[in-house]
Amino acid sequence: MNWVWFYRLGSPLWFYQTTTRWLPWLGLLAFILLTIGLVWGLGFAPQDAKQGNSFRIIYMHVPASFLALAGYFLMATAGAIGLIWKMKLSYMVMKAAAPIGAALTFLALFTGAVWGKPTWGSYWVWDARITSMLILLFLYFGVLALQYAFHNEEASNKASAILALIGTVNIPIIYKSVDWWYTLHQPSTIKLTSAPSMHPDMFQPLLVMILGFYCFYVVALCLFTRVEILRRERKTGWVGDLVGELNGSTEGKRQ
């Protein structure tokens, strides 16, 4: 079996060149979807019968929660690829995914707290879903901390990857917490095994927001990874050529 295509995906140069072409279109798509979703959800979706307008925080809370979980799986998968196949690009992706995932997890917790005040009467309760999401935030912070805890880059990569893989145990706990334990948190709005529990007029802008968040996540991950590539590959010839081209272009504009 020819695995050339697989190892090509692990090339920092190939990734940098490919994302250079993709990023403008992905950024535009993310902007369009997020703009439509926000205007649609905040301005035109009907009020909830029980929660009134306070339910509209769902258009930020649910997409952020989705990406916090999906981003952790991606980070752990990148770490596993680095440990097994020794692909340096996968470690770069893992490191890039950590701060983005931490920010999204914090956003999910913050918007959940804002939503919880009018719904539960409190910004914070030690609910199973909320507590396990807080653990997820600490796991992201742990991966970030391990990246800077060692002078040896290879050691920090391995330690971060191992912690990321161990932390995947928390993901199914988060997802199933509302089913396994008594919890104030409402059941999942979107399930693969059944139709969404929301009215279509509320669900459709939410779906647009989720797609917009996914596109935004890809853009952010590509940008963070590109920065990490340039940092780690700064001594290679192709990065030197790239810097030379950029400097030449800058000088040309000044003249």
CA-based nearest residue to 169, from 141, 142, 136, 193: 136
pLDDT value of position 119: 81
- pLDDT value of residue 120: 81
pLDDT value at position 6?
67
Does some domain include residue 7?
no
Residue 152 backbone dihedrals phi, psi, to 5 degrees: -85, 120
Find the helix packing angle between 170-180 and 128-147, rounded to 10°. Answer: 170
Q: What is the pLDDT of residue 243?
A: 81
In a domain, 194, yes or no: no
The pLDDT tens digits for 174-224 are 988 877 776 666 666 666 555 566 888 999 999 999 999 999 999 999 999
The pLDDT assigned to 195 comes to 58
- Is there a domain that residue 13 lies in? no
Residue 159 to residue 16: CA distance in whole angstroms: 26
The answer as to whether 1 is a domain residue is no
Four-residue CA torsion sign, 199, 202, 204, 209: negative
Structure tokens at 250: 């800058």
**Rounded CA gap, 173 and 50, in Å?**
28
Query: What's the pLDDT at 198?
Result: 80
For residues 62 and 189, the answer to whether their CB atoms sit within 8 Å is yes
Q: Which domain holds residue 183?
A: 29-188+201-246
Structural domain total, the chain: 1
pLDDT of residue 77: 97
Does any domain span residue 16? no
Whether residue 86 is contained in a domain is answered as yes
Q: How confident is the model at residue 227, as a pLDDT?
A: 96
The Cβ of residue 49 has, within 10 Å, a number of other Cβ atoms equal to 8
Residue 118 resides in a domain: yes
Which residue carries 């989720």 as its tokens? 210
pLDDT at 3: 63
Q: Which residues of the chain have pLDDT under 70?
A: 1-7, 182-197, 248-255
Report if residue 255 sits inside a domain.
no
